[in-house]
Amino acid sequence: MKLICIQILLILSAVISAHGQKETVKELQPAITSVVIYTEGAEVSHQFEMMYSQGRSLLKIQNLSPRIDPRSLRVNSDVGISILSVTHKIDYLTEQREKPRIKQVKDSLKNVSSTITLLQNEMDALKIQRDLLLKNQNVGGTETGTSVIELQKTADFFQSRIFEINKRTSKIQLDLDDLIKMSAKLNSELYELNAGQNYSRSEVLILIDAEKPIKGKIDIRYYVADAGWAPFYEIRAEDIDKPLNLHYRAKVFNNTDIDWTNVPMTLSTAEANKSVNYPTLSPWRLNFTSSTYSIADRNPYQTANLNENYIAQQQQNSKFAQKKGDVTFVPISVSELSIELPLATTYTIPSDAKPYIVEVGEYQIPATYKHICVPKAEKSVYLMAQIVNWEDLNLVEGEANVYFAETYVGKSYIYTREVSDTLNLSLGKDNKVLVTRTKVKDFTSKQLIGGKTKETFRYQYEVKNNRKAPISIEIIDQVPVSENSEIEVFVEEISHADYFVLTGMLHWKFELAPEQKQAYDMQYSVKYPKAKQVQTKTPTMRTLNAPAF
């Protein structure tokens, strides 16, 4: 019986001792070692080496962003230790500090305000001195006179001193004007930086257990909101017989409250903050499509029109823009598989929600060039670059600055959705290729035939290549399409154009040698009941925006 009691006491003593054992607490502030930036959000990684003590240790990873998603925390070690728990909390006990940039601006504002105060005090002292001089202008007493010499000396003194006071006052006023402007700019920047709010910090608490003292590496990763990137391109074409230069850049922003300083970065199109549940698939059904043409073939003019393309995309994006924090997000299309773009060098991205340009890559791309013109709508000829095997470039849909022959021609937009094996890039207008569309009056008529009105229209086109290299050009026009059985359309001359009966579209495709001209004709007639009216001419009235006074 005594032996049993002794064993029980020993067991209880061991249990109490185990529960009373306190873990070793280690406070750490590891630097950020890499960042994977998604189009919305980022994955931040801290990798470092440390010495683990025997037994339990509580690692307090401090000075982290308050925007961490706790569900995304992952901790790995390369040695045999047990990770018992990983928790996240906001650090409310540590003294709240201001963002470094806010502190810098506030210090500058304090110095400017101090200088303004000193100058204003000097201005007040000079004003008092000037007033005293002006009040004591009487020289000598009332009974005795003053010699001419003394009077001259006194006058010179007053003139000299008041001149110096006025000169110094003017200089102070100019300095004050500049300092007041500087103060206003600093206050505006403080407002932009949300200086009224101190930033907080969060901590990750990692409870581990090591059987023996051991040295090893630890890797901590987590998803953080309020960061992202968007593609930005620069397209340069020297001439139509040379490769295309595509400069692939990205605009990266960081609003996580933690600066990313000299950190390796990777851009990704993956959705990092998705559910941990595996995805499901719906039935994949095939059917015939209404057309086999690409976007460019369905509407070549829209594809060619550089500015309209870009504006249309911006308007489309603005409809779906979402405001999150200090940044507005717009949707972009990416490929069905995620793309990762490691950056070749490290970058520093401050936490100020401003876009910073990073370099993704630069490519010399073989391209074929063609010209497109829709002379009915506009006589300008647009130059298109066509790229095959573009999928290997890992492009993401986005805006581009376009340069041709070292001249900036405007903004375009790279579309990666619904395209074929060939990617079309608009390079803007080419003034060295000319197209004219002229109505031939001798063949244009309107006459009555029985109970019908017949209108005939004839147009002549002339294309000239003023370049020193041959070109491939496509001219697009149209004839009307009847939607009423009483209206008849007769296509009488199209000079071997491709004619799409259902839409009335006409496409001429041909090659032109340097300095070569080519002409062709189009003629059609419309017949309809004479008692009715038909709009046989393209309306010329347009609605434009104008300032209201």
3-class state of residue 2 by DSSP: helix
For residue 129, is it within any domain? yes
Residue 451 sits in a domain whose CATH number is 2.60.40
pTM for the model: 0.66
Residues 6+ apart with CB under 8 A from 304: 372, 374, 382, 384, 426
Question: Could you tell me which of 246, 522, 286 has the C-alpha nearest to residue 393?
Answer: 246
For residue 370, is it within any domain? no
For residue 234, is it within any domain? yes
pLDDT digits (tens, 9 = 90+) for 242-266: 888 989 999 999 988 899 999 999 9
pLDDT digits (tens, 9 = 90+) for 333-345: 555 567 888 999 9
Domain that includes residue 162, residue range? 100-136+152-192
For residue 286, is it within any domain? no
Q: What is the pLDDT along the chain (549 residues), one digit of tens a residue?
A: 444 544 444 444 444 444 445 678 899 999 999 999 998 899 999 999 988 888 898 999 998 998 999 999 999 988 878 889 999 998 766 655 666 667 788 888 889 888 989 988 888 888 888 888 777 765 554 455 556 677 677 777 777 888 888 888 888 889 888 888 888 888 887 777 665 455 678 999 999 898 888 898 999 999 998 899 989 899 898 888 888 898 999 999 998 889 999 999 999 988 776 655 666 666 666 554 444 333 334 444 444 444 444 445 455 554 445 555 555 655 565 555 678 889 999 999 988 888 999 999 898 988 889 999 999 888 889 998 888 878 778 888 888 888 888 888 888 888 776 556 788 888 888 889 999 999 998 888 888 888 888 999 999 999 999 998 899 999 999 999 988 888 889 999 999 999 999 989 999 999 999 999 999 999 999 999 988 888 877 655 555 554 544
Shared-domain flag, residues 302 and 315: yes
The token pair that represents 392 in the structure block: 């290997």
Q: How far apart are CA 303 and CA 313, in angstroms?
A: 12
Shared-domain flag, residues 298 and 445: no
Q: How far apart are CA 441 and CA 459, in angstroms?
A: 9
Question: Could you tell me which of 244, 237, 232 has the C-alpha nearest to residue 430?
Answer: 237
For residue 218, is it within any domain? yes
Shared-domain flag, residues 356 and 392: yes
Shared-domain flag, residues 219 and 243: no
Cα 261 to Cα 34, 60, 233: the distances in Å are 10, 22, 25
Domain boundary among 399, 429, 459: 429
Question: Could you tell me which of 269, 222, 209 has the C-alpha nearest to residue 416?
Answer: 269
Shared-domain flag, residues 57 and 119: no
- What backbone phi and psi angles, to 5 degrees, belong to 394? 55, 45
Shared-domain flag, residues 239 and 329: yes
For residue 542, is it within any domain? no
Shared-domain flag, residues 233 and 218: no
Residue 267 near residue 273, CB atoms below 8 Å: no
The token pair that represents 374 in the structure block: 């829709």
> DSSP assignment, residue 68?
B
Q: How far apart are CA 236 and CA 401, in angstroms?
A: 9
Shared-domain flag, residues 41 and 122: no
For residue 260, is it within any domain? no
For residue 371, is it within any domain? no
Shared-domain flag, residues 83 and 117: no
Shared-domain flag, residues 320 and 172: no
Give the helix/strand (H/E) hosting 102: helix 100-135
Residue 26 near residue 59, CB atoms below 8 Å: yes
Residue 512 near residue 518, CB atoms below 8 Å: yes
Question: Could you tell me which of 206, 239, 223 has the C-alpha nearest to residue 432?
Answer: 239
Residue 383 near residue 429, CB atoms below 8 Å: yes
Q: How far apart are CA 106 and CA 195, in angstroms?
A: 9
**Counted domains in the chain:** 4
Shared-domain flag, residues 44 and 59: yes
Shared-domain flag, residues 312 and 416: yes
